[in-house]
Structure 1
Amino acid sequence: MDKFKITMGVILAALIAALALGKFAPRKAEVFKQTPIQVTSEGLYKEFKNSKEAILKYSGKYVEISGVADHLDQTTLGLPYVILRGGDALGEVQCIFSPQNRDQAKQVKLGQAVTLRGVCMGKVMHLIIDECALQSAK
């Protein structure tokens, strides 16, 4: 009986892990065919800060986000990203460029108003927009 419980526990853990990894797998082309949800970085951060409904509304969805570039850097995998201001000292929206759009990051300057499109991954420490493409930088 104990072996059965252990086996079932391992199978259940593997199933949960597979489902979780599937949720964060690279987005299918269909996501990018959707009309993006237009939002500002401050507005998006505020919604996630004050509402669990934001998870349902934005997570896994294609968004067009506008904001002010506050920081530029690279992920541990070498993908460039821009941090957009989120409205308070802790409010950040990290927009990670897709590998095919990595050169677009060179067009972004600190303090510049930018608009990007990507997939909202939700909030961990800060909001993450993945697979981004630059739409404008002014």
Structure 2
Amino acid sequence: MSAKKKVSFGILLLFFFGAIIGYKIYNKPHVNVAQEKAAIVSTASKILEDFSSDETAANLKYLGKILQVNGVIAKIERVQSKCSITLETGAVFGAVLCTLTIEESAQKRALQLGQEIQLKGICTGFLMDVILVKCIILD
């Protein structure tokens, strides 16, 4: 086989395997936060403190995991069909921002500022605030 044919075959093989991997990742089932057990139970203040003191270690500990977070509601925002809840941390800068699922956002709950709340969601990282997505409110 000539060198051109080997290179062409190699590129074709890489493309084929790349397509298979991409298809598998795209069709990976989504995590149902309501049915999964929380990997870590903590407070909003502790999680923010961990990220503020050592972001690399906190990423290893929290990133991509389901967290159950206890805290006090500092802010409630509705954008279109989604609701976000910001939890107080006692820090001047930074909070824990929890974006509820669409189903959870649609439920009419009597949430009030200053209310103690428990949420469960997936930690996606730290950008001045700790971000949790696909959150549900625990009763």
TM-score normalised by structure 1 residue count: 0.71
Paired residue secondary structure (1:107): coil
Q: How does 1:1-138 map to 2 (within 5 A)?
A: 27-29=30-32, 33-51=36-54, 52-75=56-79, 78-104=81-107, 106-136=109-139
Question: CA 1:66/1:104 → structure 2, altered by over 3 Å: closer, same or farther?
Answer: farther
Question: CA 1:115/1:66 → structure 2, altered by over 3 Å: closer, same or farther?
Answer: same
TM-score normalised by structure 2 residue count: 0.71
Q: Which has the larger radius of gyration?
A: 2
Q: Deviations over 1:74-124 (max 9, x none)?
A: 24x541011001221212111110111113473321001100001011111
The amino acid of 1:67's aligned partner reads: G
The amino acid of 1:86's aligned partner reads: T
Would you say the 8 A contact 1:36–1:117 is kept in 2?
no
For this pair of structures, how many residues does the alignment match? 116
* Aligned-pair CA distance for 1:46: 0.2
The amino acid of 1:59's aligned partner reads: L
Q: Deviations over 1:13-41 (max 9, x none)?
A: xx9xxx9xx7xx99434895244310100
Unaligned runs of 5+ in 2: 1-17
Match of 1:10 in 2: none
Identity %: 25
Distance in 2 of aligned mates of 1:28 and 1:121 = 13
Distance in 2 of aligned mates of 1:31 and 1:55 = 23
